[in-house]
Amino acid sequence: MSADRRQASDHLERLLRQHTQEELLARLTPRTGEPSTKVPGGSHLSDDAVERRWQLLPDAAASREQLLDAHTVHQKDCYKHNIENFIGTVKVPVGLAGPLRVNGLFAQGDYYVPLATTEAALIASYSRGCQLLSEAGGCTAVLLNEGVSRAPGFAFASLREVGLFVLWATEHIDDFRREAEATTRHGKLRDLRITVEGNYVFLNFAFTTGDASGQNMVTLATEAICDYIERNSPIHARHHFVEANLSGDKKASAQSFLLVRGKKVSAEATLPAELIAKRLHTTPERMAQFWRMSAMGGVLSGTMGLHGHCANGLAALYLACGQDVACVAESAVGVTRFEVLDDSALYASVTLPNVMVGTVGGGTGLPSQRACLEILGLAGPGKAQALAEVCAGLCLAGELSISGAICSGDFSRAHRLLARGKATKTNEEPPAAAAEQK
Protein backbone atom coordinates (compact mmCIF):
# COMPACT_ATOMS: atom_id res chain seq x y z
CA MET A 1 0.00 0.00 0.00
CA SER A 2 1.27 3.42 -0.89
CA ALA A 3 0.65 7.04 0.07
CA ASP A 4 1.30 10.22 -1.88
CA ARG A 5 4.49 12.01 -0.86
CA ARG A 6 2.57 15.13 0.21
CA GLN A 7 0.07 13.10 2.22
CA ALA A 8 2.83 11.17 3.97
CA SER A 9 4.75 14.35 4.70
CA ASP A 10 1.67 16.10 6.13
CA HIS A 11 0.93 13.11 8.35
CA LEU A 12 4.48 13.10 9.76
CA GLU A 13 4.40 16.84 10.36
CA ARG A 14 1.16 16.51 12.35
CA LEU A 15 2.72 13.78 14.50
CA LEU A 16 5.87 15.81 15.16
CA ARG A 17 3.85 18.83 16.22
CA GLN A 18 2.39 16.70 19.03
CA HIS A 19 5.46 14.67 20.05
CA THR A 20 9.22 14.71 19.62
CA GLN A 21 10.83 12.05 17.49
CA GLU A 22 12.17 10.36 20.63
CA GLU A 23 8.68 10.28 22.19
CA LEU A 24 7.21 8.73 19.07
CA LEU A 25 9.90 6.06 18.98
CA ALA A 26 9.38 5.35 22.67
CA ARG A 27 5.65 4.86 22.08
CA LEU A 28 6.40 2.25 19.44
CA THR A 29 8.94 0.31 21.51
CA PRO A 30 7.77 -3.11 22.78
CA ARG A 31 7.05 -3.21 26.51
CA THR A 32 8.37 -6.32 28.21
CA GLY A 33 6.44 -6.08 31.47
CA GLU A 34 3.78 -8.56 32.46
CA PRO A 35 0.55 -8.07 30.48
CA SER A 36 -2.72 -7.40 32.26
CA THR A 37 -4.76 -10.28 33.68
CA LYS A 38 -6.04 -12.78 31.14
CA VAL A 39 -9.81 -12.81 30.61
CA PRO A 40 -10.98 -15.72 32.80
CA GLY A 41 -13.44 -18.51 32.27
CA GLY A 42 -13.23 -19.24 28.56
CA SER A 43 -16.57 -20.57 27.33
CA HIS A 44 -18.10 -20.83 30.82
CA LEU A 45 -21.27 -18.79 31.34
CA SER A 46 -21.60 -19.28 35.08
CA ASP A 47 -22.46 -16.27 37.22
CA ASP A 48 -19.02 -16.50 38.81
CA ALA A 49 -17.20 -16.51 35.45
CA VAL A 50 -19.18 -13.53 34.18
CA GLU A 51 -18.55 -11.65 37.44
CA ARG A 52 -14.80 -12.25 37.25
CA ARG A 53 -14.69 -10.84 33.74
CA TRP A 54 -16.49 -7.68 34.77
CA GLN A 55 -14.08 -7.24 37.66
CA LEU A 56 -11.29 -6.78 35.10
CA LEU A 57 -12.94 -3.56 33.92
CA PRO A 58 -12.57 -0.55 36.20
CA ASP A 59 -15.41 1.96 36.46
CA ALA A 60 -17.64 -0.15 34.22
CA ALA A 61 -20.89 -0.03 36.17
CA ALA A 62 -22.71 1.97 33.51
CA SER A 63 -21.50 -0.33 30.75
CA ARG A 64 -22.46 -3.39 32.78
CA GLU A 65 -25.98 -2.06 33.26
CA GLN A 66 -26.42 -1.79 29.49
CA LEU A 67 -24.76 -5.05 28.46
CA LEU A 68 -25.80 -7.35 31.31
CA ASP A 69 -29.41 -6.38 31.91
CA ALA A 70 -31.85 -8.68 33.69
CA HIS A 71 -33.22 -10.18 30.46
CA THR A 72 -29.71 -11.05 29.27
CA VAL A 73 -28.90 -12.67 32.62
CA HIS A 74 -32.08 -14.74 32.38
CA GLN A 75 -31.22 -15.95 28.86
CA LYS A 76 -27.45 -16.26 29.18
CA ASP A 77 -27.30 -20.07 29.07
CA CYS A 78 -28.64 -20.12 25.51
CA TYR A 79 -25.46 -18.40 24.31
CA LYS A 80 -23.02 -21.03 25.54
CA HIS A 81 -22.36 -22.53 22.09
CA ASN A 82 -22.00 -19.16 20.37
CA ILE A 83 -19.63 -17.05 22.48
CA GLU A 84 -16.54 -17.13 24.65
CA ASN A 85 -15.61 -14.73 27.45
CA PHE A 86 -19.27 -13.68 27.67
CA ILE A 87 -20.08 -10.37 29.42
CA GLY A 88 -23.49 -9.51 27.98
CA THR A 89 -25.39 -8.64 24.83
CA VAL A 90 -25.58 -5.66 22.48
CA LYS A 91 -28.96 -4.35 21.41
CA VAL A 92 -29.22 -3.40 17.75
CA PRO A 93 -32.42 -1.78 16.45
CA VAL A 94 -34.48 -4.02 14.17
CA GLY A 95 -36.91 -2.68 11.58
CA LEU A 96 -39.16 -4.23 8.95
CA ALA A 97 -38.72 -3.78 5.21
CA GLY A 98 -41.52 -4.84 2.97
CA PRO A 99 -43.67 -6.30 1.81
CA LEU A 100 -41.27 -8.01 -0.59
CA ARG A 101 -43.08 -10.26 -3.04
CA VAL A 102 -40.86 -13.12 -4.20
CA ASN A 103 -41.83 -15.55 -6.95
CA GLY A 104 -39.11 -18.12 -6.53
CA LEU A 105 -38.41 -21.79 -6.91
CA PHE A 106 -38.35 -22.00 -3.09
CA ALA A 107 -39.49 -18.61 -1.75
CA GLN A 108 -43.13 -17.84 -2.51
CA GLY A 109 -45.17 -14.98 -1.12
CA ASP A 110 -44.97 -11.55 0.48
CA TYR A 111 -42.21 -11.25 3.07
CA TYR A 112 -41.72 -8.66 5.79
CA VAL A 113 -37.95 -8.69 6.19
CA PRO A 114 -36.41 -7.92 9.61
CA LEU A 115 -33.22 -5.88 9.26
CA ALA A 116 -30.90 -4.98 12.15
CA THR A 117 -28.89 -1.80 11.68
CA THR A 118 -27.75 1.42 13.32
CA GLU A 119 -27.73 3.31 10.00
CA ALA A 120 -30.59 5.74 9.56
CA ALA A 121 -32.21 5.76 6.08
CA LEU A 122 -31.20 2.19 5.28
CA ILE A 123 -34.48 0.44 6.09
CA ALA A 124 -36.51 3.26 4.55
CA SER A 125 -34.62 2.69 1.31
CA TYR A 126 -34.94 -1.09 1.29
CA SER A 127 -38.60 -0.91 2.25
CA ARG A 128 -39.34 1.42 -0.65
CA GLY A 129 -37.61 -0.94 -3.05
CA CYS A 130 -39.55 -3.90 -1.65
CA GLN A 131 -42.86 -2.10 -2.11
CA LEU A 132 -41.90 -1.09 -5.64
CA LEU A 133 -41.16 -4.68 -6.60
CA SER A 134 -44.35 -5.93 -4.96
CA GLU A 135 -46.49 -3.41 -6.86
CA ALA A 136 -44.88 -4.63 -10.09
CA GLY A 137 -45.95 -8.21 -9.34
CA GLY A 138 -42.88 -9.18 -7.37
CA CYS A 139 -39.43 -10.30 -8.37
CA THR A 140 -38.61 -13.65 -9.91
CA ALA A 141 -35.86 -15.30 -7.86
CA VAL A 142 -34.01 -18.49 -8.71
CA LEU A 143 -31.50 -20.58 -6.80
CA LEU A 144 -28.97 -21.51 -9.50
CA ASN A 145 -26.34 -23.52 -7.66
CA GLU A 146 -25.11 -24.32 -4.15
CA GLY A 147 -22.02 -25.66 -2.45
CA VAL A 148 -19.56 -24.74 0.28
CA SER A 149 -15.84 -25.23 -0.28
CA ARG A 150 -12.80 -25.86 1.85
CA ALA A 151 -9.35 -25.91 0.22
CA PRO A 152 -6.49 -27.65 2.02
CA GLY A 153 -2.98 -27.15 0.68
CA PHE A 154 -0.13 -29.67 0.51
CA ALA A 155 3.59 -28.97 -0.02
CA PHE A 156 5.83 -31.58 -1.70
CA ALA A 157 9.51 -31.82 -2.51
CA SER A 158 9.13 -31.56 -6.27
CA LEU A 159 6.76 -31.41 -9.21
CA ARG A 160 7.35 -35.11 -9.71
CA GLU A 161 5.89 -35.81 -6.28
CA VAL A 162 3.05 -33.43 -7.03
CA GLY A 163 2.15 -35.41 -10.15
CA LEU A 164 2.17 -38.71 -8.30
CA PHE A 165 0.04 -37.29 -5.49
CA VAL A 166 -2.51 -35.77 -7.85
CA LEU A 167 -2.81 -39.10 -9.67
CA TRP A 168 -3.37 -40.90 -6.36
CA ALA A 169 -5.86 -38.29 -5.13
CA THR A 170 -8.03 -38.48 -8.24
CA GLU A 171 -8.29 -42.25 -7.80
CA HIS A 172 -9.46 -41.96 -4.17
CA ILE A 173 -12.36 -39.52 -4.38
CA ASP A 174 -14.75 -42.21 -3.11
CA ASP A 175 -12.54 -42.74 -0.07
CA PHE A 176 -12.48 -38.99 0.55
CA ARG A 177 -16.27 -38.93 0.33
CA ARG A 178 -16.59 -41.77 2.83
CA GLU A 179 -14.29 -40.11 5.35
CA ALA A 180 -15.91 -36.69 4.99
CA GLU A 181 -19.50 -37.88 5.22
CA ALA A 182 -18.75 -39.94 8.34
CA THR A 183 -18.37 -36.61 10.19
CA THR A 184 -21.81 -35.17 9.34
CA ARG A 185 -25.41 -36.22 8.83
CA HIS A 186 -26.13 -33.45 6.36
CA GLY A 187 -22.94 -32.65 4.45
CA LYS A 188 -22.19 -34.36 1.13
CA LEU A 189 -18.94 -34.16 -0.81
CA ARG A 190 -20.01 -33.10 -4.27
CA ASP A 191 -16.84 -32.33 -6.19
CA LEU A 192 -13.08 -31.76 -6.10
CA ARG A 193 -11.01 -29.19 -8.00
CA ILE A 194 -7.23 -29.53 -8.12
CA THR A 195 -4.87 -26.56 -8.45
CA VAL A 196 -1.08 -26.98 -8.83
CA GLU A 197 1.40 -24.18 -8.23
CA GLY A 198 5.00 -25.41 -8.32
CA ASN A 199 5.37 -27.96 -5.55
CA TYR A 200 2.08 -26.90 -3.93
CA VAL A 201 -1.21 -28.75 -4.45
CA PHE A 202 -4.55 -27.23 -3.46
CA LEU A 203 -7.52 -29.59 -3.18
CA ASN A 204 -10.70 -27.53 -3.29
CA PHE A 205 -13.49 -29.72 -1.89
CA ALA A 206 -17.08 -28.65 -2.61
CA PHE A 207 -19.84 -29.82 -0.27
CA THR A 208 -23.56 -29.42 0.02
CA THR A 209 -24.52 -28.61 3.60
CA GLY A 210 -28.29 -29.02 3.84
CA ASP A 211 -29.98 -26.12 5.61
CA ALA A 212 -26.87 -25.02 7.50
CA SER A 213 -24.53 -22.32 6.28
CA GLY A 214 -21.96 -25.06 6.79
CA GLN A 215 -18.61 -23.41 7.49
CA ASN A 216 -17.80 -25.58 10.51
CA MET A 217 -19.32 -28.64 8.87
CA VAL A 218 -17.02 -28.54 5.86
CA THR A 219 -13.98 -27.77 8.01
CA LEU A 220 -14.46 -30.93 10.09
CA ALA A 221 -15.21 -33.00 6.99
CA THR A 222 -12.09 -31.71 5.22
CA GLU A 223 -9.96 -32.35 8.27
CA ALA A 224 -11.10 -36.00 8.13
CA ILE A 225 -10.00 -36.16 4.49
CA CYS A 226 -6.62 -34.66 5.35
CA ASP A 227 -6.16 -37.23 8.10
CA TYR A 228 -6.96 -39.99 5.63
CA ILE A 229 -4.45 -38.58 3.13
CA GLU A 230 -1.77 -38.39 5.80
CA ARG A 231 -2.34 -42.01 6.77
CA ASN A 232 -2.71 -43.54 3.31
CA SER A 233 -1.04 -41.49 0.60
CA PRO A 234 2.11 -43.18 -0.74
CA ILE A 235 3.52 -39.70 -1.42
CA HIS A 236 3.95 -37.83 1.84
CA ALA A 237 3.62 -34.07 1.93
CA ARG A 238 6.26 -32.05 3.73
CA HIS A 239 3.38 -30.24 5.42
CA HIS A 240 -0.25 -29.39 4.86
CA PHE A 241 -2.97 -27.04 6.13
CA VAL A 242 -6.70 -27.71 6.32
CA GLU A 243 -7.40 -24.35 4.63
CA ALA A 244 -4.86 -22.72 2.33
CA ASN A 245 -6.89 -19.63 1.37
CA LEU A 246 -8.13 -20.84 -2.02
CA SER A 247 -11.75 -21.42 -1.01
CA GLY A 248 -12.68 -17.73 -0.93
CA ASP A 249 -13.85 -17.95 2.68
CA LYS A 250 -14.96 -14.50 3.96
CA LYS A 251 -13.34 -12.47 1.20
CA ALA A 252 -14.19 -11.04 -2.19
CA SER A 253 -12.43 -12.81 -5.07
CA ALA A 254 -12.62 -13.19 -8.84
CA GLN A 255 -13.24 -16.87 -8.18
CA SER A 256 -16.72 -15.90 -6.98
CA PHE A 257 -17.90 -15.55 -10.57
CA LEU A 258 -16.42 -18.86 -11.72
CA LEU A 259 -17.60 -21.20 -8.96
CA VAL A 260 -20.15 -21.09 -6.17
CA ARG A 261 -19.68 -20.71 -2.45
CA GLY A 262 -22.87 -20.93 -0.46
CA LYS A 263 -25.81 -20.37 -2.77
CA LYS A 264 -25.85 -18.70 -6.17
CA VAL A 265 -29.10 -16.80 -6.68
CA SER A 266 -30.48 -14.38 -9.22
CA ALA A 267 -33.50 -12.10 -9.02
CA GLU A 268 -35.15 -10.03 -11.74
CA ALA A 269 -38.13 -7.77 -12.31
CA THR A 270 -39.66 -5.68 -15.08
CA LEU A 271 -40.90 -2.31 -13.88
CA PRO A 272 -43.24 -0.11 -15.97
CA ALA A 273 -42.11 3.46 -16.57
CA GLU A 274 -45.25 4.77 -14.84
CA LEU A 275 -44.39 2.89 -11.66
CA ILE A 276 -40.78 4.12 -11.75
CA ALA A 277 -42.06 7.69 -12.04
CA LYS A 278 -44.60 7.23 -9.25
CA ARG A 279 -42.37 5.53 -6.70
CA LEU A 280 -38.81 6.57 -7.61
CA HIS A 281 -39.55 9.98 -9.18
CA THR A 282 -37.33 9.29 -12.17
CA THR A 283 -37.35 7.40 -15.47
CA PRO A 284 -36.03 4.04 -16.69
CA GLU A 285 -33.79 5.86 -19.16
CA ARG A 286 -32.11 7.90 -16.44
CA MET A 287 -31.67 4.81 -14.25
CA ALA A 288 -30.04 2.96 -17.15
CA GLN A 289 -27.75 5.96 -17.74
CA PHE A 290 -26.77 5.91 -14.08
CA TRP A 291 -26.12 2.17 -14.22
CA ARG A 292 -23.80 2.57 -17.23
CA MET A 293 -21.82 5.33 -15.53
CA SER A 294 -21.61 3.43 -12.23
CA ALA A 295 -20.47 0.36 -14.15
CA MET A 296 -17.58 2.38 -15.55
CA GLY A 297 -16.84 3.73 -12.09
CA GLY A 298 -16.68 0.18 -10.79
CA VAL A 299 -14.29 -0.84 -13.55
CA LEU A 300 -12.03 2.16 -12.94
CA SER A 301 -11.92 1.53 -9.19
CA GLY A 302 -11.29 -2.20 -9.62
CA THR A 303 -14.27 -3.43 -7.59
CA MET A 304 -15.13 -7.12 -7.33
CA GLY A 305 -18.58 -7.24 -8.83
CA LEU A 306 -20.81 -4.40 -9.89
CA HIS A 307 -23.53 -3.13 -7.58
CA GLY A 308 -24.50 -0.20 -5.41
CA HIS A 309 -24.77 -1.45 -1.85
CA CYS A 310 -25.77 -5.11 -1.56
CA ALA A 311 -23.60 -5.37 1.55
CA ASN A 312 -26.00 -3.09 3.41
CA GLY A 313 -29.08 -5.26 3.05
CA LEU A 314 -27.20 -8.52 3.55
CA ALA A 315 -25.38 -7.30 6.67
CA ALA A 316 -28.63 -6.09 8.23
CA LEU A 317 -30.43 -9.33 7.43
CA TYR A 318 -27.49 -11.48 8.55
CA LEU A 319 -27.29 -9.66 11.86
CA ALA A 320 -31.03 -9.96 12.49
CA CYS A 321 -31.32 -13.59 11.43
CA GLY A 322 -28.26 -15.18 13.05
CA GLN A 323 -26.03 -15.56 10.00
CA ASP A 324 -22.22 -15.27 10.00
CA VAL A 325 -21.97 -11.52 9.40
CA ALA A 326 -18.33 -11.77 8.27
CA CYS A 327 -19.55 -13.75 5.26
CA VAL A 328 -20.96 -10.51 3.85
CA ALA A 329 -17.42 -10.00 2.51
CA GLU A 330 -18.08 -12.75 -0.04
CA SER A 331 -21.89 -12.77 -0.11
CA ALA A 332 -22.07 -9.19 -1.36
CA VAL A 333 -19.95 -9.92 -4.43
CA GLY A 334 -22.53 -9.65 -7.19
CA VAL A 335 -23.77 -7.93 -10.31
CA THR A 336 -26.66 -5.51 -10.76
CA ARG A 337 -27.94 -4.77 -14.26
CA PHE A 338 -30.51 -2.27 -15.59
CA GLU A 339 -31.82 -2.18 -19.18
CA VAL A 340 -34.56 -0.16 -20.87
CA LEU A 341 -36.90 -2.44 -22.83
CA ASP A 342 -38.69 -1.67 -26.10
CA ASP A 343 -41.86 -0.68 -24.23
CA SER A 344 -39.83 1.78 -22.10
CA ALA A 345 -40.06 -0.44 -19.01
CA LEU A 346 -36.99 -1.06 -16.87
CA TYR A 347 -35.51 -4.55 -16.65
CA ALA A 348 -33.54 -4.96 -13.43
CA SER A 349 -31.60 -7.94 -12.12
CA VAL A 350 -29.20 -8.88 -9.32
CA THR A 351 -27.05 -12.01 -9.31
CA LEU A 352 -25.20 -13.10 -6.17
CA PRO A 353 -22.91 -16.13 -6.56
CA ASN A 354 -21.82 -16.51 -2.92
CA VAL A 355 -24.77 -16.09 -0.56
CA MET A 356 -23.76 -17.84 2.68
CA VAL A 357 -26.97 -18.42 4.64
CA GLY A 358 -28.58 -21.14 6.71
CA THR A 359 -31.74 -21.65 8.73
CA VAL A 360 -30.31 -24.17 11.20
CA GLY A 361 -27.08 -24.13 13.21
CA GLY A 362 -24.78 -21.26 14.08
CA GLY A 363 -26.62 -18.24 15.43
CA THR A 364 -30.01 -19.17 13.97
CA GLY A 365 -31.14 -20.82 17.19
CA LEU A 366 -30.54 -17.82 19.45
CA PRO A 367 -33.78 -16.28 20.77
CA SER A 368 -33.78 -12.95 18.93
CA GLN A 369 -32.35 -14.35 15.74
CA ARG A 370 -34.81 -17.25 15.61
CA ALA A 371 -37.62 -14.76 16.23
CA CYS A 372 -36.54 -12.82 13.12
CA LEU A 373 -36.41 -15.99 11.03
CA GLU A 374 -39.89 -16.86 12.28
CA ILE A 375 -41.14 -13.42 11.19
CA LEU A 376 -39.93 -14.38 7.72
CA GLY A 377 -41.47 -17.84 8.05
CA LEU A 378 -38.04 -19.29 7.32
CA ALA A 379 -36.90 -20.79 10.62
CA GLY A 380 -35.70 -24.38 10.82
CA PRO A 381 -35.07 -27.20 8.33
CA GLY A 382 -36.09 -26.97 4.70
CA LYS A 383 -35.94 -23.17 4.47
CA ALA A 384 -32.35 -22.23 3.58
CA GLN A 385 -32.88 -22.21 -0.18
CA ALA A 386 -35.89 -19.93 0.21
CA LEU A 387 -33.86 -17.61 2.45
CA ALA A 388 -31.21 -17.29 -0.26
CA GLU A 389 -33.86 -16.29 -2.81
CA VAL A 390 -35.25 -13.71 -0.38
CA CYS A 391 -31.70 -12.32 -0.05
CA ALA A 392 -31.54 -11.84 -3.82
CA GLY A 393 -34.92 -10.11 -3.86
CA LEU A 394 -33.92 -7.86 -0.98
CA CYS A 395 -30.71 -6.82 -2.74
CA LEU A 396 -32.65 -6.08 -5.93
CA ALA A 397 -35.00 -3.87 -3.91
CA GLY A 398 -32.06 -2.00 -2.40
CA GLU A 399 -30.37 -1.51 -5.77
CA LEU A 400 -33.52 -0.05 -7.32
CA SER A 401 -34.13 2.28 -4.39
CA ILE A 402 -30.63 3.73 -4.07
CA SER A 403 -30.33 4.16 -7.83
CA GLY A 404 -33.69 5.88 -7.97
CA ALA A 405 -32.72 8.17 -5.10
CA ILE A 406 -29.50 9.22 -6.82
CA CYS A 407 -31.29 9.76 -10.15
CA SER A 408 -34.09 11.84 -8.61
CA GLY A 409 -31.89 13.88 -6.27
CA ASP A 410 -33.44 12.38 -3.12
CA PHE A 411 -30.21 10.71 -2.01
CA SER A 412 -28.67 13.64 -0.11
CA ARG A 413 -31.99 15.03 1.12
CA ALA A 414 -32.96 11.66 2.60
CA HIS A 415 -29.83 11.54 4.69
CA ARG A 416 -30.16 15.11 5.81
CA LEU A 417 -33.68 14.40 7.07
CA LEU A 418 -33.45 10.82 8.32
CA ALA A 419 -29.82 10.49 9.40
CA ARG A 420 -29.35 14.03 10.76
CA GLY A 421 -32.92 15.00 11.55
CA LYS A 422 -32.44 18.37 9.86
CA ALA A 423 -34.34 20.15 7.14
CA THR A 424 -33.52 23.26 5.19
CA LYS A 425 -37.16 24.31 5.38
CA THR A 426 -39.34 24.03 8.45
CA ASN A 427 -42.10 22.33 6.48
CA GLU A 428 -39.85 19.90 4.60
CA GLU A 429 -41.04 16.30 4.86
CA PRO A 430 -38.88 13.19 4.63
CA PRO A 431 -38.84 11.77 1.09
CA ALA A 432 -40.89 8.68 0.39
CA ALA A 433 -37.78 6.63 0.98
CA ALA A 434 -34.15 7.20 1.59
CA ALA A 435 -31.00 5.95 0.02
CA GLU A 436 -28.60 4.11 2.27
CA GLN A 437 -25.98 6.05 4.16
CA LYS A 438 -22.53 5.70 2.74
Rounded Cα distance, 105 and 385, in Å: 9
Residue of 81, 415, 428, 429 marked catalytic: 415
Concerning whether 69 is annotated as a catalytic residue, the answer is no
Instruction: Give the angle 370-367-76 at the CA atoms, nearest 5°.
Output: 155
Rounded Cα distance, 44 and 84, in Å: 7
Rounded Cα distance, 412 and 163, in Å: 59
Residue of 181, 268, 324, 339 marked catalytic: 324
Rounded Cα distance, 362 and 368, in Å: 13
Contact 87, 52 (CB under 8 A): no
Residue of 44, 119, 410, 436 marked catalytic: 119
Concerning whether 240 is annotated as a catalytic residue, the answer is no
Rounded Cα distance, 203 and 228, in Å: 14
Contact 348, 267 (CB under 8 A): no
Rounded Cα distance, 79 and 64, in Å: 17
Concerning whether 374 is annotated as a catalytic residue, the answer is no
Residues 6+ apart with CB under 8 A from 354: 248, 256, 260, 261, 262, 264, 330, 331, 333
Contact 148, 209 (CB under 8 A): yes
| Catalytically annotated residues | 119, 324, 415
